[in-house]
Amino acid sequence: MSKRSAEQILSPRSHLPMKVSTGPVGANATVGSRVFDVVNYLFVTLVAITTIIPFIYIIGASFATEYEIATRPMFFIPQDVSVNAYKYIFSSNKILRGFGNSLLITSAGTAINLFFTVTMAYALSKTRLRGRNFFLNLVIFSMFFSGGMIPGYIIVANVLNLKNTFWSVLLPGAISAYNMMIVKNFFQGIPQELEESASIDGCTDIGVLWKIVLPLSLPVLATFGLFYAVGHWNAYFGAMIYMTGAKEKWPLQVLLRELIIMSNGTAGDMTNMDADFVQPPEQSIKMAVIVVSTVPIMCVYPFLQKYFVKGVMVGALKG
């Protein structure tokens, strides 16, 4: 045996596996793989452009005049900038109150959703739970069948007597069966040794959930927290049917819907407008409404983006 071979055998790193290239990188890439990468990049870029162009047009049209919207089928920067649509939307303090109501419903609703989702998912992730299969079957059954809108309205308005309260839009959708099942799968993928060691140290089940499971579940919590928050922010139908007698509790989406309806026929509440104010076109108001209702929730996404893909994929793959 040569001296070099002996050094390799006795080396403390000789048992480590060699790095093997798993894909075409640099000079090792074949012509077919390069073409495949170029096609992928072009396709993703095309999809991104197709997605962003309509939103840029909506922003531009919200600042455009009636004549420009009628004569130019597509533009990104208006020739004559006008803020009349936004003046019309914010002409009343109802919009600011609607913002506050939407923030309250979104924050409280997301907290309620995550609480019930996490607690139920953690319990059902334990095989030692008595009646676990029975409860899982009930959850799966609710994913395919529902009572419908009329029975739901009767329960909320007459049985629970929650009409014209914020609870009427918070409690009916307190948990999503589909999201709960994914979170349950995520919890089942956490090594049991971590929980067993915490239990040996004296932690209860609640302590294990709070000190061990939740810190390891930030990706999935942030992901489904975003899902729940977007759902609450965009929801308007529940408030529209349950808060008919409490318009001061309407969220932003319902108020913006009313503004669009008012813009079709009347000038709405113009008491706070300037004397030289010009009634904006209906189409411009619709564009401004989309911007006003979309931008706030979009500002939340960059802070949760790093958890988004990881949370969904891990929860979906581990079972």
**Is 21 in a helix, a strand, or coil?**
coil
Q: Percent of the chain, pLDDT > 70?
A: 80
- Please tell me the distance from the alpha carbon of residue 72 to that of residue 121, in angstroms, as a whole number: 53
**Which of 133-137, 231-235, 281-285 shows the lowest mean pLDDT across its residues?**
281-285
Q: Where in the chain is the domain with CATH 1.10.3720.10?
A: 86-317
- With beta carbons less than 8 A apart as the criterion, state whether 98 and 252 touch: yes
Q: Percent of the chain, pLDDT > 90?
A: 27
Both structure tokens of 22 = 């798993």
- With beta carbons less than 8 A apart as the criterion, state whether 243 and 168 touch: yes
Taking alpha carbons only, the member of 155, 175, 177, 157 closest to residue 165 is 157
- Please tell me the distance from the alpha carbon of residue 238 to that of residue 153, in angstroms, as a whole number: 9
pLDDT digits (tens, 9 = 90+) for 279-298: 566 788 888 888 888 888 88
pLDDT digits (tens, 9 = 90+) for 198-209: 888 888 888 888
Q: What is the mean pLDDT of the chain?
A: 80
The stretch 303-317 carries a mean pLDDT of 59
- With beta carbons less than 8 A apart as the criterion, state whether 250 and 101 touch: yes
**Is 160 in a helix, a strand, or coil?**
coil
- Please tell me the distance from the alpha carbon of residue 214 to that of residue 120, in angstroms, as a whole number: 13
- With beta carbons less than 8 A apart as the criterion, state whether 91 and 268 touch: yes
- The string of DSSP letters for 200-247 reads HTT--HHHHIIIIIHHHTHHHHHHHHHHHHHHHHH--HHHHHH-TT-G
Neighbours of 159 (CB within 10 A): 9
How confident is the model at residue 309, as a pLDDT? 60
Both structure tokens of 243 = 């808060």
**Is 105 in a helix, a strand, or coil?**
helix
CATH superfamily of the 86-317 domain: MetI-like (1.10.3720.10)
How confident is the model at residue 65, as a pLDDT? 83
Measured CA to CA in angstroms, residue 176 lies from 70, 82, 110, 139 at distances of 43, 43, 11, 9
pLDDT over 90 at 72, yes or no: no
**Helix, strand, coil percent content, the chain, rounded in steps of 5:** 70, 0, 30
pLDDT bracket for residue 195 (50, 70, 90): confident
State the residue for tokens 């998912």: 121
Distance, C-alpha 71 to centroid of its chain: 36
Report the half-sphere exposure of 298 (CA within 13 A, side-chain side): 7
Taking alpha carbons only, the member of 229, 271, 232 closest to residue 251 is 232
Both structure tokens of 121 = 């998912």
Specify the DSSP class assigned to residue 12.
T
The stretch 139-167 carries a mean pLDDT of 89
How confident is the model at residue 279, as a pLDDT? 57
- The string of DSSP letters for 39-56 reads HHHHHHHHHHHHHHHHHH
- Please tell me the distance from the alpha carbon of residue 287 to that of residue 190, in angstroms, as a whole number: 46
